[in-house]
Amino acid sequence: MKSIVAIVVGFVASAMFLIAPPALAADAGAGTQVFSANCAACHIGGGNAINPAKTLKQDDLVANGKDTAEAIVYQVTNGNGAMPAFGGRLTAEQIENVAAYVLAQADKGW
pTM recorded for the entire structure: 0.78
For range 43-65, the mean pLDDT: 97
Residue 106: half-sphere exposure toward Cβ, Cα within 13 Å:
22
Instruction: Tell me the percentage of the chain whose pLDDT exceeds 90.
Output: 77
User: Tell me, what CATH number does 79's domain have?
Assistant: 1.10.760.10
Q: Quote the pLDDT of residue 73.
A: 98
For range 50-68, the mean pLDDT: 97
Q: Quote the pLDDT of residue 4.
A: 58
Q: Is residue 7 part of a domain?
A: no
Taking all residues of the chain, what is their mean pLDDT, rounded to a whole number? 87
Burial class (CB in 10 A: 0-12, 13-18, 19+), 87: middle
Q: Is residue 15 part of a domain?
A: no
Find the domain containing 70 and state its range: 26-108
Q: Is residue 21 part of a domain?
A: no
Count how many domains the chain has.
1
